[in-house]
Amino acid sequence: MESIIPNLNDRDLAFKEAIDNIISNEVVPFIDEVEQGKIDIWDVLRQLGKHGLIGITYPREFGGYGGTYNQELLMTEALCYQSYPMDMSRGSSTYPASLIRIFGKTKLLRNYIDPLVKGEKIGSFCFTEPDAGSDLSRMKTIYEKDEKNDEFILNGEKRFIVNGSVADTLVVYARNGAFIIQSDWDGFEVIEEYSMMGLHGLHLGHLKFDNVRVPKENELYYREPKPSTEGTRKRRTEAISSMQQFLAPERAMMALQAICVAKRALDEAIRYSRERVQFNRPISEFEGISFKIAEMATNYEAGKALVQKSLQNMNDGALAAMAKLFACTNAFKICDDALQVLGGIGYTNKYPVERCLRDIRLSRIGGGTDEIMKYIIQKDIYKKLK
Ligand SMILES: Cc1cc2nc3c(=O)[nH]c(=O)nc-3n(C[C@H](O)[C@H](O)[C@H](O)COP(=O)(O)OP(=O)(O)OC[C@H]3O[C@@H](n4cnc5c(N)ncnc54)[C@H](O)[C@@H]3O)c2cc1C
């Protein structure tokens, strides 16, 4: 697909050509088998890791590509156009690596980060709980300190965790702190791996932490430049709210992902409308179809413009919420309209449009629902008036 990322230079364009080739050869041939559960999604993603394409912005000595943020966006774009669950699994595995890199205090950081960046190990980040979805203040996961052994003891449950049931390294948020956990530690349990409407192949887990002992150096914290005088409890609260600020760039990224899935569906619909003949002419010659294509393309362009603006203002939370809300709701509509253009064959798995429609539905829920995006947007509007 033609890139929507602003300000690309020649190096970025060469990178795009290289990854398009790698994805065509090493991902696309396996998408159907991943979708049908015949191949594990991580068997495909590990191949990308060998090219440094799991953690693109990480230095080569970490196992990454040593690339720029624009190159990371190009990868997201190219992978989502082919397979949304692959890019979600990839991104959810490196997100904990970013958190560990920024908030970790252990000297062992590289032991955790490098395998995630190389794709040799799988990562997850865990906010959501059975009683805490949109309302994270209802989180029950909590730690106690074992002063004698210099450890934390973690208890709680997390659900809807991407990669959760296959993860090696998890960043887990508790009420009073955030921690790096390894899934082979005593007390960690996968309660369930969910079956889903879409995103087939992606591993979505419900996890339990039952008296998991966490070494002290595995606590994540907010490295405040100025010395804090208000004690560790305040610092930990800052740590969690500071990590949650990462949700704005994450949402801009989700908006980008959605717009790329929509572009795939739009391209398929345009192609099909020119090939399919009914009543002695291509269906593109009927306004019922061509006007639908016009609306889909307009919604795509509007979503693209908002996503581009958000990508250029990554820390603007309200703008990221607008981009996510608009891109995801319109991406869903574009995918649904695309299926309509394809008629009966669109409802089968002969074309990727039905997969796009099932996959894209998640984008209006994960990373914050449509309703929560509206809440963030209105809050920002009224706050500015105070
Ligand atoms: C495929 C998938 C992948 C995910 N990946 C991860 C992950 O990797 N890590 C992670 O931590 N979480 C993950 N999540 C969780 C996701 O972020 C939550 O599902 C989402 O935030 C909504 O929470 P909930 O499902 O508990 O819904 P609820 O919060 O129970 O909401 C139910 C409904 O009520 C509405 N609602 C709630 N509060 C309000 C309000 N104040 N005003 C108006 N409406 C409201 C919601 O919008 C929604 O329509 C994932 C979820 C899915 C399905």
Measured in Å, residue 50 CA sits from the centre of ligand 1 at: 34
Query: What pLDDT is stored for residue 230 in this prediction?
Result: 47
Domain assignment of residue 2, yes or no: no
| pLDDT one-digit tens code per residue, 358-383 | 999 999 999 999 999 999 999 999 99
One domain for residues 353 and 381:
yes
167 Cβ closer than 6 Å to some ligand 1 atom = no
Kindly state the average pLDDT of the residues 74-98: 97
Closest CA to 163 of 90, 101, 232, 112: 90
CATH number, domain of 260, equals: 1.20.140.10
Distance CA 185, CA 154 (A): 11
Q: What is the DSSP string of 32-91?
A: HHHHTTSS-HHHHHHHHHHTT-SSTTS-GGGTS----HHHHHHHHHHHHHH-HHHHHHHH
One domain for residues 214 and 259:
no
3-class DSSP assignment, residue 164: coil
Q: What is the DSSP string of 304-363?
A: HHHHHHHHHTTT-HHHHHHHHHHHHHHHHHHHHHHHHHHGGGGGSTTSTHHHHHHHHGGG
Tell me which of 41, 125, 128 to substitute to probe ligand 1's pocket, judged by most ligand atoms within 8 Å of the beta carbon. Answer: 128
Domain residue limits at 53: 10-118
How many domains does the chain divide into? 3
Measured in Å, residue 268 CA sits from the centre of ligand 1 at: 30
One domain for residues 100 and 140:
no
Domain assignment of residue 270, yes or no: yes
365 Cβ closer than 6 Å to some ligand 1 atom = yes
Residue 105 has pLDDT above 90, yes or no: no
Q: Which of 225, 243, 261 is the last residue of a domain?
A: 243
161 Cβ closer than 6 Å to some ligand 1 atom = yes
Query: What pLDDT is stored for residue 233 in this prediction?
Result: 47
One domain for residues 186 and 212:
yes
300 Cβ closer than 6 Å to some ligand 1 atom = no
Neighbours of 225 (CB within 10 A): 4
One domain for residues 267 and 353:
yes
Domain assignment of residue 63, yes or no: yes
3-class DSSP assignment, residue 282: strand
Residue bearing tokens 């692959």: 86
Residues in the chain: 386
In the sheet that holds 204-215, the strands lie side by side as 142-146, 151-162, 204-215, 188-193
Distance of CA 352 to the CA centre of its chain: 20
Query: What pLDDT is stored for residue 4 in this prediction?
Result: 94
CATH number, domain of 56, equals: 1.10.540.10
Distance CA 357, CA 41 (A): 20
136 Cβ closer than 6 Å to some ligand 1 atom = no
198 Cβ closer than 6 Å to some ligand 1 atom = no
Domain assignment of residue 1, yes or no: no
Kindly state the average pLDDT of the residues 253-264: 97
134 Cβ closer than 6 Å to some ligand 1 atom = yes
One domain for residues 345 and 305:
yes
Contacts of 208 (CB under 8 A, 6+ apart): 156, 157, 188, 189, 190, 191
Residue 11 in tokens: 């190096």
Helix (H) or strand (E) holding 233: helix 231-244
Measured in Å, residue 210 CA sits from the centre of ligand 1 at: 24
Kindly state the average pLDDT of the residues 220-240: 52
Higher per-residue confidence, 242 vs 268: 268
What number does the ligand 1 atom closest to the CA of 158 have? 11
One domain for residues 196 and 168:
yes
Query: What pLDDT is stored for residue 16 in this prediction?
Result: 97
As a whole-number percent, the residues of the chain with pLDDT over 70 amount to: 94
Measured in Å, residue 236 CA sits from the centre of ligand 1 at: 24
Measured in Å, residue 257 CA sits from the centre of ligand 1 at: 18
> For ligand 1, atom 35, which residue shows the shortest CA distance?
371
Kindly state the average pLDDT of the residues 276-299: 98
One domain for residues 275 and 172:
no
Domain assignment of residue 4, yes or no: no
Residue bearing tokens 């002992």: 213
CATH number, domain of 236, equals: 2.40.110.10
Q: State residue 6 phi and psi, 5-degree precision.
A: -70, 155
One domain for residues 235 and 346:
no
173 Cβ closer than 6 Å to some ligand 1 atom = no
One domain for residues 143 and 189:
yes
One domain for residues 211 and 261:
no
Neighbours of 39 (CB within 10 A): 15
172 Cβ closer than 6 Å to some ligand 1 atom = no
Domain assignment of residue 259, yes or no: yes
Tell me which of 41, 89, 369, 373 to substitute to probe ligand 1's pocket, judged by most ligand atoms within 8 Å of the beta carbon. Answer: 369
Per-residue confidence band for 224, with pLDDT thresholds at 50, 70 and 90: very low
Query: What pLDDT is stored for residue 67 in this prediction?
Result: 95
Helix (H) or strand (E) holding 253: helix 247-275
Distance CA 386, CA 384 (A): 6
Measured in Å, residue 95 CA sits from the centre of ligand 1 at: 18
Per-residue confidence band for 227, with pLDDT thresholds at 50, 70 and 90: very low
| pLDDT one-digit tens code per residue, 291-341 | 999 999 999 999 999 999 999 998 899 999 999 999 999 999 999 999 999
152 Cβ closer than 6 Å to some ligand 1 atom = no
Distance CA 119, CA 63 (A): 9
Tell me which of 98, 125, 131, 134 to substitute to probe ligand 1's pocket, judged by most ligand atoms within 8 Å of the beta carbon. Answer: 134
| pLDDT one-digit tens code per residue, 108-155 | 788 999 999 999 999 999 999 999 999 999 999 999 999 898 999 999
Q: Which of 74, 101, 118 is the last residue of a domain?
A: 118
Tell me which of 139, 160, 181, 247 to substitute to probe ligand 1's pocket, judged by most ligand atoms within 8 Å of the beta carbon. Answer: 160
Residue 24 has pLDDT above 50, yes or no: yes
Kindly state the average pLDDT of the residues 186-213: 98
Per-residue confidence band for 107, with pLDDT thresholds at 50, 70 and 90: confident
Domain assignment of residue 113, yes or no: yes
Q: What is the chain's mean pLDDT, rounded?
A: 93
One domain for residues 237 and 202:
yes
List C-alpha distances in Å: 118 to 7, 48, 108, 244, 275: 28, 9, 16, 25, 43
Q: Which of 243, 273, 292 is the last residue of a domain?
A: 243
Domain assignment of residue 261, yes or no: yes
3-class DSSP assignment, residue 104: strand
